[in-house]
């Protein structure tokens, strides 16, 4: 058995809910419902339920074990997940090499290029840029995803530890993590010397294997919820109790147990049975 959370904010009236229940093979009344926004159903086969609903215009489905785990850890990717941008692409654009960097980023996220090699190639293109370009990029271009802060602060209020783990850079991630309320931030350190970028990453590279290791270290024996959007998040998503692909590249969307394609990040709170009136 599994629990399927159906999310169709403002649209999940009685008729749509009945139609959805019929699709997933559930004849009983919903286990839980929040107005016309979301509802939870008990289903016999979670994968079949997910396949029945995915692709239904404007509706997301999150399938979890029955009973829903008592999550103690939420771990999230940063670029294109908790924020709406790829920081290195934005830096590249400001430095006049945006097209070259964005092409490498896209191929890496699709899983076509090794992450470490792709990161080194992109960072090298930023060599000799003034270090102040980072602060200007954050101020002018970087914005959190809708619902990001609400999601993190509501989870924290319920005792969930929140960790931001990024293949991007500490100069971005530390500030974004603090603004959104994360307990811990793990990211790469972009090399700087004499006020300019060196074109190198200092220290160990945060790749998919590191993301998975951080999850396992933080979660221990507890249940974990992970979210990401690209190939570098694959290992982390697979290692989590429930892994969620957020508006993800096909390689991750196919591997994740759940997808959030249509609604903001805070819609995940419905999957935990938290009514909108209780969101922080």
What radius of gyration, in Å, describes the C-alpha atoms of the chain? 20
List the chain domain ranges. 1-68, 69-85+144-280
Is pTM beyond 0.85 here? Answer: yes
Dihedral angle sign, alpha carbons of residues 110, 115, 121, 126: positive
* DSSP structure string for 22-55: HHHT--SPPSEEETTTEEEEEES-HHHHHHHHTT
Q: Can you give the pLDDT of all 280 residues of the chain as single tens digits?
A: 899 999 999 999 999 999 999 988 886 789 999 999 999 999 988 888 888 888 788 999 999 999 999 999 999 999 999 999 999 999 999 999 989 998 998 898 888 888 888 899 999 999 999 999 999 999 999 999 999 999 999 999 999 999 999 999 999 999 999 999 999 999 999 999 999 999 999 999 999 999 999 999 999 999 999 999 999 999 999 999 999 999 999 999 988 989 999 999 999 999 999 999 999 9
Topology annotation, domain 69-85+144-280: Rossmann fold (3.40.50)
Q: Which helix (H) or strand (E) holds 218?
A: helix 208-219
Are 92 and 41 in contact, with CB atoms under 8 Å apart? no
Distance from C-alpha of 276 to C-alpha of 280, rounded to nearest angstrom: 9
Q: Determine phi and psi for 265, rounding to 5 degrees.
A: -60, -35
Give the CATH number of domain 1-68.
3.30.70.330
CA torsion 153-264-225-23 (nearest 10°) is 140
Among candidate residues 218, 202, 198, the one with its CA nearest the CA of residue 210 = 218
Q: Which residues are catalytic?
A: 77, 79
């Amino acid at each position: 058995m599994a629990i399927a959370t159906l999310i169709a904010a403002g649209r999940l009236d009685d008729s749509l809910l009945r139609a959805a229940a019929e699709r997933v093979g559930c004849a009983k009344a919903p286990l839980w419902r929040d107005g016309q926004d979301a509802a939870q159903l008990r289903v016999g086969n979670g994968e079949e339920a997910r396949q029945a609903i995915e692709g239904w215009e404007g509706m997301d489905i999150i399938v979890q074990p029955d009973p829903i785990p008592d999550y103690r850890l939420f771990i999230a990717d940063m670029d294109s997940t908790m924020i709406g941008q790829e920081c290195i692409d934005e830096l590249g654009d400001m430095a006049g090499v945006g097209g070259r960097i964005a092409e490498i980023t896209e191929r890496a996220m699709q899983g076509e290029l090794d992450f470490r090699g792709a990161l080194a190639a992109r960072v090298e293109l930023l060599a000799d840029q003034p270090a102040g370009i980072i602060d200007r990029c954050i101020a002018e271009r970087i914005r959190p995803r809708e619902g990001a802060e609400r999601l993190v602060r509501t989870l924290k209020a319920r005792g969930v530890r929140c960790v931001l783990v990024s293949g991007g850079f500490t100069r971005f991630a530390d500030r974004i993590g603090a603004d959104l309320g994360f307990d811990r931030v793990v990211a790469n350190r972009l090399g700087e010397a004499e006020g300019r970028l060196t074109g190198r990453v200092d220290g160990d590279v945060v790749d998919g294997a590191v993301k998975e290791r951080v999850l396992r270290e933080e979660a221990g024996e507890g249940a974990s919820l992970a979210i990401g959007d690209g190939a570098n998040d694959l290992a982390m998503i697979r290692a989590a109790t429930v892994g969620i692909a957020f508006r993800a590249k096909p390689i991750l969307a196919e591997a994740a147990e759940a997808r959030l394609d249509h609604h903001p990040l805070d819609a995940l709170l419905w999957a935990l049975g938290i009514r909108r009136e209780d969101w922080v």
